[in-house]
Amino acid sequence: MNYPQIDPVLINIAGPLALRWYSLMYILGFACVAWLGIRRSRTLHLDWERDYILDLVFYGAMGAILGGRIGYVLFYNFEVFLAQPLYLLKVWEGGMSFHGGLLGVLLAMFFYSKKLKRSFWSVTDFLAPLCPIGLGLGRLGNFINVELPGRVSEFGFGLRYPCEKVVSINPVCIGQWEGALRYPSPLIQAFFEGVLLFVILWFFSAKKRSLGMVSAIFLICYGSFRVLTEFFRTPDSHLGFVLFDSLTMGQILSAPLIIAGMILWIWSKTNGEEKV
């Protein structure tokens, strides 16, 4: 079938001011983190008051947005940044990186844990199961914006992309629709990074675990899912494959997450006496 073309602007407010679907996905994502956190704290009788959770979401949102933008510029457009340093501020041109956002959130959680006088891992263990739904919503925003085109399907099913959206990766695409079928990579990543990761973390963290173990599962699972799903996604046109002519930047950045998660898992099993 043809790629469903959806107007990226949900509501035109005034002049250039508008509410876009992609922005709405971020808002809904942060709202879900807050709602799930409050619900989980009440259900499991955790020592997390409502105001603490709302502050947690605020710190995390700032870390995700700032880190996501900085990470995108440094990881995916560093040469452009060197030539035009102000490119970092051109947020209206788009561009967010999960890995940069993750680093931003971790830094924000470090400062927030100091403010709460709690251990860093106890904060991240509480936050980790709340995040996947937001990650999945972000991928739906990518899908609506016709971003992250998939690789050409080898199994006879997929979507025909508008030529104007794939001209950078298929310059011979002439007309309105590309002839080839491509994997709906944003939807594939939404399932793995959003739905499946949420189910795993939500049920795993329902029982008390050693300090850092929930965070370790998040790192291992997200890193593994990202490496897997990148095989369905076309590499960024300006980067291409960055290693062995087969691995993308997303896979390269995700490998350290898996390693860090395994190290954290071992540490949690051997030293994590405190339960969360």
Whether residue 172 lies inside any domain: the answer is yes
Q: What is the pLDDT of residues 112-155, one digit of tens each?
A: 999 999 999 999 999 999 999 999 999 999 999 998 899 999 88
pLDDT at 15 over 70: no
How many whole angstroms separate alpha carbon 184 and alpha carbon 271? 42
CA 129 to chain centre: 13
How many whole angstroms separate alpha carbon 35 and alpha carbon 44? 14
Whether residue 116 lies inside any domain: the answer is yes
Q: Give bridge partners of residue 233 from the DSSP assignment.
A: 150
pLDDT band at 275 (very low <50, low <70, confident <90, very high): low
* R_g of the chain, CA atoms, integer Å: 20
Kindly state the average pLDDT of the residues 46-73: 92
pLDDT at 272 over 80: no
Total number of domains constituting the chain: 1
Is 35 or 96 the better-scoring residue by pLDDT? 35
b/e map 264-275, b = 16+ CB within 10 Å: bbebbeeebeee
Whether residue 71 lies inside any domain: the answer is yes
How far does the chain reach from its first CA to its final CA, in angstroms? 47
- Average pLDDT of the chain to the nearest whole number: 90
pLDDT at 16 over 70: no
Whether residue 276 lies inside any domain: the answer is no
Q: Which pLDDT belongs to residue 83? A: 84
Q: Which pLDDT belongs to residue 96? A: 82
- The domain in which residue 121 lies consists of 9-271
Structure tokens at 251: 């896979």
Whether residue 119 lies inside any domain: the answer is yes
**Any idea what the Cα angle at residue 38 is, between residues 32 and 42, rounded to 5°?**
145
Whether residue 37 lies inside any domain: the answer is yes
Amino acid at 154: E
Q: Which pLDDT belongs to residue 138? A: 94
Whether residue 84 lies inside any domain: the answer is yes
Q: Which pLDDT belongs to residue 92? A: 65
Please name the residue that has the structure tokens 């709602």: 35
Number of neighbouring beta carbons within 10 Å of residue 255? 15
Whether residue 2 lies inside any domain: the answer is no
CA 45 to chain centre: 29
Number of neighbouring beta carbons within 10 Å of residue 86? 7
pLDDT at 240 over 70: yes
Kindly state the average pLDDT of the residues 223-238: 91
